[in-house]
Amino acid sequence: MAITTKDLQHLFALIAGDIAAQRDHLCELDGAIGDGDHGLAMDAGCEAAAKAVGGLDPAQAAPTAVFNAAAKAFLNAVGASSGPLYATAFMRAGAAVKDKPELSDDDFVRAFAVMAQGIQERGKAEPGEKTMVDTWKPAADAALKVRASGSALAECFDMADRAARQGCEATRDLLAAKGRASRLGDRVIGHIDPGAASAAIIIASIAKFARHRDG
Amino acid sequence: MAITTKDLQHLFALIAGDIAAQRDHLCELDGAIGDGDHGLAMDAGCEAAAKAVGGLDPAQAAPTAVFNAAAKAFLNAVGASSGPLYATAFMRAGAAVKDKPELSDDDFVRAFAVMAQGIQERGKAEPGEKTMVDTWKPAADAALKVRASGSALAECFDMADRAARQGCEATRDLLAAKGRASRLGDRVIGHIDPGAASAAIIIASIAKFARHRDG
Amino acid sequence: MKTKKLINAGADAVDEMLQGVLVAHPRHLYAVEDVPRAIIARNGPRKGKVGLVIGGGSGHEPTFLGYVGKGLADAAAIGNVFASPPPDPIIACAKAVDGGAGVLFMYGNYAGDVMNFDMAAEMLALDEIEVRTVLTTDDVASAPADQREERRGVAGNVFIFKAAGAACDLLYSFDEVERAARHANARTYTMGVALAPCSLPQTLKPNFLIGEEEMEIGMGIHGEPGVARESLKTADAVTDELMDSILREMKAERGDRVAVLVNSLGSTPMMELYIMMRRVKARLDEAGLVIHTSLVGNYCTSLEMAGASITVMHLDDELQRLIDHPCDCAMFAR
Amino acid sequence: MKTKKLINAGADAVDEMLQGVLVAHPRHLYAVEDVPRAIIARNGPRKGKVGLVIGGGSGHEPTFLGYVGKGLADAAAIGNVFASPPPDPIIACAKAVDGGAGVLFMYGNYAGDVMNFDMAAEMLALDEIEVRTVLTTDDVASAPADQREERRGVAGNVFIFKAAGAACDLLYSFDEVERAARHANARTYTMGVALAPCSLPQTLKPNFLIGEEEMEIGMGIHGEPGVARESLKTADAVTDELMDSILREMKAERGDRVAVLVNSLGSTPMMELYIMMRRVKARLDEAGLVIHTSLVGNYCTSLEMAGASITVMHLDDELQRLIDHPCDCAMFAR
Ligand SMILES: Nc1ncnc2c1ncn2[C@@H]1O[C@H](COP(=O)(O)OP(=O)(O)O)[C@@H](O)[C@H]1O
Ligand SMILES: Nc1ncnc2c1ncn2[C@@H]1O[C@H](COP(=O)(O)OP(=O)(O)O)[C@@H](O)[C@H]1O
Ligand SMILES: [Mg+2]
Ligand SMILES: [Mg+2]
Ligand SMILES: [Mg+2]
Ligand SMILES: [Mg+2]
């Protein structure tokens, strides 16, 4: 069963709700090693994206338009670090599904993987630098790998979710090399990276979405 | 036994000590209906006065010089409302004892009474307007009256002290007509006037001084 | 719990501040020799010009010393925190700025200031320096309209001093300076609101208590209680409440011009002031009034008190000219 | 417990602030049509002049929009509180100020700002508008001296933007503007100390925790942790600690001139800043350095954060000329 524009609209709404529920928690995480606004940025961005995407006519708009609308809305609502990172992610996803009226499971996993790649390229960050890349990269790798072995979408994203959570948790012991936290030396040890935490929430939402479709 | 310059030096030191001990309490009273600095002003003023007076050579300086030095030092250390009020009080006392090498009990009571009068004239305040006049005026009246009946100095100032405390306490129920508190309408009801309270402390110090001399 | 401050000994704060002011602004300001609390404009006073001496307690910076300079005040006498200066520095100021045309004292209407400046004026009379006094009384909250002369002087000082200083700089006669100063004061209205207290450097304790959800309408700039304690409202609602009082008294006609000051009491940031400014503009538009000039920022503070005040000066042609007249002060230039 | 603020809805604070700024300063500033976060100088941009676009998060007022005006920046792109603006308003600023001689982007070195401004520059390149970028990196606390380009940009922005804006106004070529801007940045050093946090308008919760007797040396202007948490010291001791770091790096020679900024992070009052200024002067005297100009006040804030920073710009003849060049901004004039 293919993934339609309508499904993607649901997905963006799901993400926005899950992020909103963690807004204050994400601000607290950012307060410890950053400037305390990451929850606000992600909440504003995801809400704007869901709203822009929700406003599209599913009969007219292909999945590529969904991702592009999300990119634009997220970026303009947020700025900050998260804005360009997620806008780039969504734009890459949009490019990867160009011309497709709806998405196969393979298409969807590929879109997911290029999102991770887009984030990494925009931020010029490597894994291990205590950023959201530490969540996105292992999650994308896991999804691709499980999909290559022929598993269903739900299973791909279950494994992605697990990898994301591990990657996020592992940022606790890392020094930061990118972003605001990179100036703090070993004072960041013991704190999870807020961008890694919000990424894990988003990936959990996607896993929920995939489970719901397959189940 | 006449009151000498040396005695007056002790008196000013006594007052400075007693006011210093109540500095924070006076600030609290002023915080409720004024700007919270009355303890600082009285402490700085009395300390400066005691220091200036203490620096005089008792062999050279007559009582008038003591009061004038106190006036100048108090005024320059303080400004505020209390500065001109107490400076005027001390100047009047100085004028009242001009040319006297030392003070008889009558002289001392008269000096006390003109202090009260000086405060009243400088501030243009009548009793009942919730100011230090509500302490000074009844105290001066009491001292004069008791002295006229021939009592000893200690008794004069015991009665002055009692009248001062009553006058001070009575400001609690008054509306304010002068000073910062005069803009507050009935919000001042229930609060003692800080200037009335510091005046009561000073008069209590004088009573202690008089008791000590007579006793 | 003590308020944290970047000070040395609390009792030295005012004098050390003044030392810092002089080293920061040597081209604008100096202190009279041996009278460190008498701060004089380098380029202000001159022969034939009425000398303008302002002053009051410390803790309101840039009021008073920030408004000393060419085209504004010639000198400021500086007191302890929230306390009038004693007569000595006032006298030193007057002598330093006397250009033979008279010396005008201008300061906020507080009992302490009145007594100290009056004592100074009495002593200056002995030296045949003619002194007159114009008290500022712009704080609408501090007395009813029919007792205007009982009111306190607050942030409106900025506009009132500015107008008077311009009149002096334009070499108005002593009579005319006095008239213009009274006129400026009579047409200036301020209302403030406080959200949180400040602490004096000597005590480091909050100088009043206020609930976590409360605000105090009409609080004085020394933390003196105001007219009412209410629960905190939105910026628009608070601005409306302040503007209602001001507009009610001002009795301006549609098309009249005003000067506006949205002032922080200390720790309220510019973001909040400009949010209020937006509403001030809406209210003035509604009343058909035209903003000729506006100031937004820290102009008359109470150390780190949280809150803001709104001042409106009801301009006429003369006041507009005086407000537009250039001035060059250490902390304020036009 | 919530921080009390004079705002309406927290999410509207930035836009309402900008509306207030525009009604307060109509002769200085306007916003690009339909792009309210792109604030342009009325008298700045002109043909043949390099256009200077600055920008960053809100909450630092008067940084950034207060430095938009003739002789300084031509435009500011404004982000949410403590968040870089997105590319759209940056692009709108660049287009509005492009005089055909190139557009220079200047902003503090933060990952978010770099990504957004870079995206904007990429998109402007498609429109054949040539953009170059000079990041400010004056915060000594934020990286060791051998990683100068990793440092954050903080209050030194004021002097660095001022120098670059003057170079633009003097019609320096694009190459020369860029060189002067880098030169200004390279010679500017800032160290700050925070005493108490601020709260974002959307959360009204303190953005960091700090003990009742503690201070944070080198805290960032968004409340990012600094280099060390210590117990609060006297103003002189704190100033010494900040000046030690600055002087150690600056390597100035006796007789050299400097520009000094003692800046409040928000709620620290002028009294405390001038007490620090006094000590700054003593330290500079000791080092044989001459203060050419000094600024003391709220120049680069973090909402109502308590604390202060000291900036020293090590002048040479060119920087001195640029710093002295007149400018006329809504919140800053020379
Ligand atoms: N160069 C980068 N590459 C990838 N992620 C980054 C980079 N810089 C910052 N981040 C992520 O952004 C998060 C902070 O985002 P946010 O708080 O929204 O922005 P800001 O730092 O501008 O306040 C960090 O926790 C980190 O995960
Ligand atoms: N006109 C006046 N006459 C007599 N006493 C006055 C007058 N004005 C003020 N006071 C007294 O001064 C006290 C306040 O003194 P203080 O706090 O030192 O000065 P300030 O009001 O300048 O802060 C008041 O409590 C009151 O007793
Ligand atoms: Mg952040
Ligand atoms: Mg008082
Ligand atoms: Mg006082
Ligand atoms: Mg941020």
pLDDT of residue C13: 98
DSSP character at residue C105? E
Predicted TM-score (pTM) of this structure:
0.96
- Which of A61, A77, A109 has its CA nearest to residue A209? A109
Mean pLDDT of A137-150: 97
Distance CA B84, CA C113 (A): 10
Q: C83 CA to chain B: closest CA distance, Å? A: 4
Q: How confident is the model at residue C117 (pLDDT cuts 50, 70, 90)?
A: very high
Cβ separation D274–C298 shorter than 8 A: no
* Residue C292 bears catalytic tag: no
Mean pLDDT of B15-27: 97
pLDDT of residue B33: 87
Strands of the sheet containing C29-32, edge to edge, are C29-32, C35-41, C75-81, C51-58, C103-108, C131-136
Q: How confident is the model at residue B95 (pLDDT cuts 50, 70, 90)?
A: very high
| Residues at Cβ < 5 Å from ligand 5 ion | B 35, 37, 80; C 82-83
Cβ separation A84–D200 shorter than 8 A: no
- Window 154-183 of C: residues touching D by CB (8 A cutoff) are none
- Which of C263, C96, C101 has its CA nearest to residue C168? C101
pLDDT in tens, A50-108: 999 999 999 999 999 999 999 999 999 999 999 999 999 999 999 999 999 999 999 99
Residue C80 backbone dihedrals phi, psi, to 5 degrees: -65, 175
Distance CA B53, CA B10 (A): 9
Is A190 near chain D, with CB under 8 Å?
Answer: no
Cβ of A84 less than 6 Å from ligand 1: no
Cβ separation D61–C232 shorter than 8 A: no
Cβ separation A187–D225 shorter than 8 A: yes
pLDDT of residue A182: 75
pLDDT of residue B215: 58
Q: Which residues contact D55 (CB under 8 A, 6 or more apart)?
A: D64, D75, D76, D77, D78, D79, D84, D85, D89, D90, D93, D105, D107, D113, D117
Q: D185 CA to chain C: closest CA distance, Å? A: 23
pLDDT in tens, C280-329: 999 999 999 999 999 999 999 999 999 999 999 999 999 999 999 999 99
Mean pLDDT of D92-101: 97
Q: Is the pLDDT of residue C203 over 70?
A: yes
Cβ of A133 less than 6 Å from ligand 1: yes
Q: Three-class SS of residue C143?
A: coil
Distance CA B70, CA B73 (A): 5
Q: For ligand 1, what atom is nearest to the CA of residue A41? A: 18
* Residue D60 bears catalytic tag: yes
pLDDT of residue C50: 98
Distance CA C95, CA B167 (A): 42
Share of chain C above pLDDT 70, in %: 100
Cβ separation D268–C304 shorter than 8 A: yes
The structural domains of chain A, with segments of one domain joined by +, span: 5-214
Which of C25, C28, C60, C183 is an active site residue?
A: C60
Mutate to test the interface with D, among A24, A25, A35, A122 (most CBs of D within 10 A): A35
Q: How far is the CA of B162 from the centre of ligand 3 (A)?
A: 65
Share of chain A above pLDDT 90, in %: 88
Q: In this structure, which amino acid lies at residue C149?
A: E
Q: Is the pLDDT of residue A184 over 90?
A: no
Q: D235 CA to chain A: closest CA distance, Å? A: 25
Mean pLDDT of B199-206: 98
Which runs of consecutive H residues, i.e. helices, occur in A55-171?
A: 63-78, 82-96, 105-123, 133-148, 153-170
Question: Are the C-beta atoms of A45 and A77 separated by less than 8 Å?
Answer: yes
Which of D60, D183, D292, D325 is an active site residue?
A: D60
Which has the higher per-residue pLDDT, C69 or A213?
A: C69
Q: In this structure, which amino acid lies at residue C231?
A: S
**Cβ atoms within 10 Å of C84's Cβ, excluding its own:** 31
Question: How does the average pLDDT of chain C come out, rounded?
Answer: 96
pLDDT of residue C94: 98
pLDDT of residue A177: 81
The structural domains of chain D, with segments of one domain joined by +, span: 10-186, 188-322
pLDDT in tens, D244-259: 999 999 999 999 999 9
What topology does CATH give the domain A5-214?
1.25.40
- Which of C131, C190, C130, C185 has its CA nearest to residue C322? C185
Q: How confident is the model at residue D309 (pLDDT cuts 50, 70, 90)?
A: very high
Which of D25, D28, D183, D222 is an active site residue?
A: D222
Q: C225 CA to chain B: closest CA distance, Å? A: 7
Nearest chain A residue to D112 by CA distance is: A81
Is B118 near chain C, with CB under 8 Å?
Answer: no
Is D25 near chain C, with CB under 8 Å?
Answer: yes
Q: Which two tokens stand for residue B96?
A: 């009242």
Q: Is the pLDDT of residue B20 over 70?
A: yes
Helix %, strand %, coil % of chain D (to 5): 35, 30, 35
pLDDT of residue B181: 74
**Cβ atoms within 10 Å of A59's Cβ, excluding its own:** 7
Mean pLDDT of C92-97: 98
Considering the four listed CATH numbers 3.30.70.100, 3.30.70.270, 3.20.20.70, 3.30.1180.20, the one that applies to the domain covering D188-322 is: 3.30.1180.20
Question: How does the average pLDDT of chain D come out, rounded?
Answer: 96
C-alpha neighbours within 13 Å on the C-beta side of residue A141? 10
What topology does CATH give the domain C10-186?
Rossmann fold (3.40.50)
Which of C222, C292, C314, C325 is an active site residue?
A: C222
Question: Are the C-beta atoms of D293 and D324 separated by less than 8 Å?
Answer: yes
Q: How far is the CA of C109 from the centre of ligand 5 (A)?
A: 13
Cβ of B82 less than 6 Å from ligand 2: yes
Choose the residue to mutate in B35, B78, B86, B131 for probing ligand 2, maximizing ligand atoms within 8 Å of C-beta: B131
- Choose among D18, D196, D281: nearest Cβ to C23: D281
pLDDT of residue A188: 85
Choose the residue to mutate in B132, B192, B198 for probing ligand 2, maximizing ligand atoms within 8 Å of C-beta: B132
Residue with CA at minimum distance from ligand 1 atom 2: A123
Mean pLDDT of D169-182: 98
Choose the residue to mutate in B23, B33, B38 for probing ligand 2, maximizing ligand atoms within 8 Å of C-beta: B38
Q: Is the pLDDT of residue B180 over 80?
A: no
Is A75 near chain D, with CB under 8 Å?
Answer: yes
pLDDT of residue A215: 58
Cβ of A77 less than 6 Å from ligand 1: no
pLDDT of residue A205: 98
Question: Are the C-beta atoms of D79 and D56 separated by less than 8 Å?
Answer: yes
Q: How far is the CA of C293 from the centre of ligand 4 (A)?
A: 35
Q: For ligand 1, what atom is nearest to the CA of residue A35? A: 23
pLDDT in tens, B126-162: 999 999 999 999 999 999 999 999 999 999 999 999 9
E strands, chain D, where? 29-32, 35-41, 51-58, 69-70, 75-81, 103-108, 131-136, 188-196, 214-217, 228-231, 257-264, 290-297, 306-314, 328-329
Mutate to test the interface with C, among B25, B29, B37 (most CBs of C within 10 A): B37
Q: Which residues pair with C124 in a beta bridge?
A: none
- Choose among D115, D141, D203: nearest Cβ to A84: D115
Residue with CA at minimum distance from ligand 2 atom 24: B195
Q: Which two tokens stand for residue C209?
A: 């208590």
Cβ separation D272–C6 shorter than 8 A: yes
Cβ separation B84–C116 shorter than 8 A: yes
pLDDT in tens, A15-39: 999 999 999 999 999 988 888 899 9
Cβ of B137 less than 6 Å from ligand 2: no
Q: How far is the CA of B193 from the centre of ligand 2 (A)?
A: 9
pLDDT in tens, D45-66: 999 999 999 999 999 999 999 9
Cβ separation A180–D110 shorter than 8 A: yes
